[in-house]
Amino acid sequence: MAMRKRSETARRTGGRAQDALRGDLYAPQCPSRGVLEHVTSRWGVLALVALLEGGTHRFSALRRKVAGVSEKMLSQTLQALEADGFVQREVFPEVPPRVEYTLTPLGHEVAGRVKGLAEWIEANLGRILTAREQRPVRAPRREAS
């Protein structure tokens, strides 16, 4: 992304070696923002949770599970997650082609956290919807006259 060399980010964030490298979300050019966007993207979240819950999936199975995603977006999402080392892609040179996606150990860790967030929302939807109704629209410009 915006990063040219590892050492540059390392300098900015104070780290030195790769395994000690730490990101800073508040810095606009930090690659951690890109990673965060990949895992929290509209379809990234759902793909990660689906892979965590169901284990290895092939492309079409994942597409069915994550209802509503287009092939383009699923492909794009998985490519991003693969590039970040969260999912492993395996191609079987058969006809018709078969491709399987699996979480890496790294992916397993993020997916767990993403799933925690997703489940919290599912479980608390009632509370959220209640809050929504109490805050119907928004003051129509300015509350003080």
Partner DNA sequence: GGTGGGTACTTACCAACAGAAAGCAAGGCC
Partner DNA sequence: GGCCTTGCTTTCTGTTGGTAAGTACCCACC
Q: Does 60 bind DNA (CB under 7 A)?
A: yes
100: phi then psi, degrees, rounded to nearest 5? -115, 140
Q: Does 98 bind DNA (CB under 7 A)?
A: yes
Least distance to DNA, CB of residue 32, Å: 16
Q: Does 53 bind DNA (CB under 7 A)?
A: no
Q: Does 29 bind DNA (CB under 7 A)?
A: no
Angle among Cα 117, 125, 41 to the nearest 5 degrees reads 40
Of these, 21, 32, 34, 41, which contacts DNA (CB under 7 A)? 41
CA distance 72 to 60: 12
Query: Which one of DNA, a copy of itself, none interacts with residue 102, CB within 5 to 8 A by kind?
Result: none
**Do 13 and 22 contact (CB within 8 A), yes or no?**
yes
Of these, 47, 62, 66, 103, which contacts a copy of itself (CB under 8 A)? 66
Q: Is residue 111 within a helix (H) or strand (E), and if so which, with residue range?
A: helix 105-134
End-to-end Cα distance, the chain? 48
Q: Does 69 bind DNA (CB under 7 A)?
A: yes
Judged on CB neighbours under 10 Å (0-12, 13-18, 19+), 101 is buried
Of these, 13, 32, 56, 76, which contacts DNA (CB under 7 A)? 76
Q: Does 5 bind a copy of itself (CB under 8 A)?
A: no
Q: Is residue 11 within a helix (H) or strand (E), and if so which, with residue range?
A: helix 6-13
Of these, 23, 27, 59, 102, which contacts DNA (CB under 7 A)? 59
Residues at the interface with DNA (CB under 7 A): 41-43, 58-60, 69-73, 75-76, 78-79, 89, 91, 95-99, 138, 141
